[in-house]
Amino acid sequence: MSGRRVAVTGVGVLTGYGRGVDALWKGLASGKSAVREHSARLGRKAWLTYPMAALPCDTAGLADSLPNPQFVRQNELVEDPDLVGIADCIAQAIRDSGLSYDPRENNVGLVVTHESPGLAPHVQSFFRFGKTARAWLKSRSRFKPPEFLYEQQSDSVYRLHSFLYLHYLSAVFQLHGFTLYNNNACASGAFALVVASDRVRSGEASAVVVAGGDVPEDGTKYRWFRDRGLYSTSGTCRPFSARRDGMVLGSGAAAFVLEDLDGARAAGKHVYAEWLGGGFTSDGWKVTMPDVVGDRYRQSIDRALAAARVRPEEITLLAPHGVGAELLDHFEAESLARVFGNGSRPWPALLPLKGALGHTLGGCALVETVAALLALERGEIPPAARCADPDPRLPMGRSREEAFAKDWVLLKCTNGFAGQNGAIVLRSPERSHAARRD
């Protein structure tokens, strides 16, 4: 698609290392993973302890600093840790970009992604035993179980509608342009970015905010993955390692502000990257396993490179999905080898992040793209995101280790559950200048 060029002018992030880009980079540079023992609570009682990269802060405290506090209180948004985490990242990104708009009339867009909106408060609602008991004593329907259950759950069930996240966030930040909610599993952030970039490129929106995340800290998602044999038995996620034994969850959220590149430069804004393009496919096969025959993950990467008009050898940094599971990492390595060569030539520098951040589910593409941009700005692979003992059985070429040049190109790949495959390409501001001169 021709049209305006698109820039990333602001980012916000929340991870197991803490709030903001400084906390994220400090954690990655420390060489230590954010994964630690986490005690999950349903109601007031802990029911599970397991390793994950949980947030070191309470999301309820983050809600206090959001815009439109009266709306936040009236709609009890503080009860939803996922929504508050996403909102906090939006506030960070808007502030970071210096985005200015009339709250009464603007065409700033909003694209939001999350795998299960409203699920956390809905799950917790089943464990408010004291409140439920008092309601039962007062209810005229206490001897009509279906009616009583409807009375108790109708509000939290209604809040499962995904459009409410768009409503709440649009109201908190007074955004009145194009809106879209998408859920493409782990690839959600990649899909969200390409839709948002199209709105800016076409001129439909002056700016678009993209945000997503997941705070899976109540234990229910952990049990789902554990019961299916996907969770690490050692409690350590080791992407592409000879010792990998499964995934580990992480809480995280991220937000981006996308704007017209030329306008951002004219305004003297800091530009993290220029958006180049994305590519996508869908397996239509299994939920938890990729279609190892269809080769669609590789196709999504090829489509992203074609959209960006970039050759594989031009990629400076590759941020793979890398969940740390035996079969899934092998499948991904095979797919990447069809793009970058089966060891016949050097691969781009590799940035597998889930060992440090955990798997942030629907937020992972956005969270890990923020981390990748920080690594490129600082010119190094941080110690916590290095593959120390790559599996020699995997068909992966030797990664380039030299310091990043200022004219880098980033490829971020995701192959999510239900066969949702996506890849996106961004390039450095310096290379954007050179492209304009050419």
Among 319, 318, 324, residue whose Cα is nearest residue 358: 324
Q: What's the rounded mean pLDDT across residues 184-189?
A: 96
| 97 within 8 A of 263, measured Cβ to Cβ | no
Helices (H) and strands (E) in the chain, counts: 16, 13
d(CA 200, CA 436): 18
Among 387, 32, 28, 355, residue whose Cα is nearest residue 242: 387
Angle at 81 between CA 78 and CA 87, to 5 degrees: 80
Contacts of 73 (CB under 8 A, 6+ apart): none
pLDDT at residue 438 tops 80 = no
| Region for 363 from its dihedrals, namely left if φ exceeds 0, alpha if ψ lies in -120 to 50, beta otherwise | alpha
d(CA 372, CA 95): 20
**Residue 237 phi, psi dihedral angles, 5° rounding:** -90, 125
pLDDT at residue 434 tops 60 = no
Q: pLDDT category, 335, cuts 50, 70, 90?
A: very high
**How do residues 390-421 score in pLDDT, each as one tens digit?**
999 999 887 876 667 789 999 999 999 999 99
pLDDT at residue 88 tops 70 = yes
d(CA 89, CA 95): 10
| 237 within 8 A of 321, measured Cβ to Cβ | no
Q: pLDDT category, 437, cuts 50, 70, 90?
A: very low
pTM for the full model?
0.95
Q: What's the rounded mean pLDDT across residues 30-36?
A: 97
Kindly state the DSSP code that residue 383 receives in the 8-state scheme.
G
d(CA 418, CA 33): 28
The domains located in the chain, with CATH, are: 6-118+159-437 (3.40.47.10), 123-158 (no CATH)
Structure tokens, 360: 């942030």
High-pLDDT (> 70) share of the chain, %: 97
pLDDT at residue 169 tops 50 = yes
Torsion of CA 180, 211, 253, 403, to 10 degrees: 130
Mean pLDDT rounded to a whole number for the chain = 93
pLDDT at residue 436 tops 50 = no
> Residue 322 has what pLDDT?
96
Q: Which residues partner with 51 through β-bridges? A: 37
Among 430, 438, 437, 315, residue whose Cα is nearest residue 7: 430
Contacts of 356 (CB under 8 A, 6+ apart): 27, 28, 33, 34, 35, 53, 382, 384, 385
**How do residues 253-294 score in pLDDT, each as one tens digit?**
999 999 999 999 999 999 999 999 999 999 999 998 888 888
The identity of residue 131, as a single letter, is K
The identity of residue 60, as a single letter, is A
pLDDT at residue 154 tops 70 = yes
Q: Which residues partner with 6 through β-bridges? A: 260, 275
> Residue 294 has what pLDDT?
87
